[in-house]
Amino acid sequence: MTSRANTGDHAALTHAEAMSLQAAELQRLIAVLAELSPDEWTARTECPAWDVRQMHLHVLGACESAASMRELVHQMLAARRLQKAEGGPLEAALSAVQVRERDSLTPTDLLREMRRVAPIAVRKRTAMPGLVRRGVRMKVDGPVVERWSLGYLVDTIYLRDVWMHRIDTCRAVGRAPELTADHDGRIVADVVAEWARRHGQAFRLQLTGAAGGTFAASGTSGREPGADGVTLTLDAVEFCRTLAGREPGEGLLATIVPF
């Protein structure tokens, strides 16, 4: 089946859909973490500064910030202080704060806290009023420099972040991730739609694997899909890893999509 990624065949995630996907994704991640051996918790990941445990200290910190307004304010103030002292994007400073402040947690502690706080985080994000999600906007300075709505952060970025870190973890420990069309395929389709909007060119895209699909768009020029010769075929997960910067991309695959 061919989907026109920029004409609404794959509508943007609704808030309710995003929350349902986040709840399921966090449980999939927790299931992966529960099976890790002690050595696997120390495996290096494709995020150069982190091993598996440190990566999920970041995920835990993000969940805790969603579960508590006091914790969110604390993390943001601490991140701005760190950015002022060390430079770099605010996003990187925030992740560093989350990891540093939880570095005493053992894998057992981390897993226990993830099980406790993940449902609270989803519940608090679900309850966020639409007026707040749409009306609050923030500047971001990495991996893109632009202004995001709070809803985009809550619904899209947090979902993609956890999903990609589950993929990172499975790759670090040599395990195949659980992938299904209704869950992972929906996340990937949303990534494709944003990728199409960002580069605005005509293309045909065949993504293989359980999370894949066939996509096409005419681009902003109105030309027929693929009329300019841009036809791509690759694995769905590798497509997302490339857009997230984990693999080098050329041509349209050099378009950054935030995760």
Phi, psi of 121 (to 5 degrees): -60, -45
Of 121, 147, 173, which residue constitutes the final position of a domain?
Answer: 173
Q: How many domains does the chain contain in total?
A: 2
pLDDT value at position 12?
85
Please give the residue range of the domain that contains residue 71. Answer: 15-173
Same domain, 244 and 198: yes
pLDDT of residue 40: 98
pLDDT band at 218 (very low <50, low <70, confident <90, very high): confident
What CATH number does the domain containing 130 carry? 1.20.120.450
76 and 123 fall within a common domain: yes
Is 168 part of any domain? yes
Residue 227 pLDDT grade (very low, low, confident, very high; cuts 50, 70, 90): low
Q: Give a yes or no: residue 37 inside a domain.
A: yes
pLDDT confidence band for 221 (50 / 70 / 90): low
Q: How wide is the angle at C-alpha 247 spanned by C-alphas 185 and 225, nearest 5°?
A: 55
Average pLDDT value for residue range 110-139: 97
**CA geometry: angle 202, 159, 163, nearest 5 deg:** 85
Vertex 216: Cα angle to 241 and 146 (nearest 5) = 55
Q: Which residue, 149, 173, 197, sits at the end of a domain?
A: 173
Mean pLDDT of the chain: 93
Residues 71 and 32 in one domain: yes
Range 46-72 average pLDDT: 97
Each residue of 5-47: pLDDT tens digit?
443 455 789 999 999 999 999 999 999 999 999 999 999 999 9
Same domain, 194 and 135: no
Give the chain's length.
259
pLDDT at 187 over 60: yes
Based on the fold, state whether residues 223 and 141 are members of the same structural domain.
Answer: no
Query: In the listed set 173, 198, 220, which residue is the last one of a domain according to the structure?
Result: 173
pLDDT at 10: 59
> Above 50 in pLDDT, residue 121?
yes
- Domain presence at residue 259: no
